[in-house]
Amino acid sequence: MFESSGFWVSVWPIIIGMIICVIASVNVKATFKKYSDVHNSRGITGAQAARQILDSNGLYNVGIEFISGNLTDHYDPTANVIRLSESVYNSTSAAAVGVAAHECGHAVQHAVGYTPIKIRQAVIPLTNFGSKLWYIVFIAGLALSSTAFGSTLVMVGILLFALVVLFQLVTLPVEFNASRRALQTLENYHILDGDELSSAGKVLRAAAMTYVAAVANAILQLLRLLAIANRKR
């Protein structure tokens, strides 16, 4: 049976982390929906804007594909293709063009060898390994907490989860830089102007907050694991 203080040490980071992530998710969806009604004066679609941006950077070999879903847009460096969702591909809204430009930002990052994205790519295998095993190792360690081996397993579990936190931290500069590149490109090539550019910026900033929320959530969970480990000593 949990002691009251111990129970809250285990639960409060989960609750706060969930609240932060839900708020960020709701905000980005609401912001995208709001500025989906602001259409650009040139009548250019998300896919057309992406093609123009890629070609302007000499990335003629990067493809653009349609993908189902809402805000499922992403750049796949393995296939060298940008996939744009239903709400972006054929839409002429400032929000859609902003999202498309953001994904182009990731393609440009890979092309120019942007250091943070290199680091992120390098830690992905470690992150995948840590995300799959940390919970099993940590729980096994708690079950054997009365032994030295159990304490070691607990710390190994925490270190594996720390790899997940590292990935989230490295992702932040990658996403913020992609958005900055996107807005600069949209302005420099006059794809969006005035209020249209401002609308796209608000959408991208809201999207960036989801990554900030993910980092905050991951750090809270790491603190939670450390607190549990400390209680078991």
Domain boundaries defined on the chain: 4-232
Mean of the pLDDT values across residues 41-70? Answer: 95
Least trusted range by pLDDT, from 95-104, 186-195, 202-211, 224-233:
224-233
* Model pLDDT for residues 107-126, shown as the tens digit of each residue: 999 999 999 999 999 999 98
* Model pLDDT for residues 2-36, shown as the tens digit of each residue: 444 555 556 787 889 899 999 999 999 999 999 99
Distance between CA 114 and CA 167 in Å, rounded?
Answer: 16
Active site residues: 103
Q: Cα–Cα–Cα angle for 33, 35, 40, nearest 5°?
A: 135
Mean of the pLDDT values across residues 178-203? Answer: 93
Structure tokens at 195: 């209020």
Contact between 44 and 97 under an 8 Å Cβ cutoff? The reply is yes
β-bridge mates for residue 81, sequence order: 63, 76
More confident residue, 81 or 13: 81
At 1, the pLDDT band (50, 70, 90 cuts) reads very low
Contact between 100 and 88 under an 8 Å Cβ cutoff? The reply is yes
What pLDDT, on the 0 to 100 scale, is given for residue 228? 86
Nearest to 205 by CA among 173, 228, 186, 180: 180
Mean of the pLDDT values across residues 49-70? Answer: 95
The sign of the dihedral angle between the CA atoms of 161, 223, 218, 145 is positive
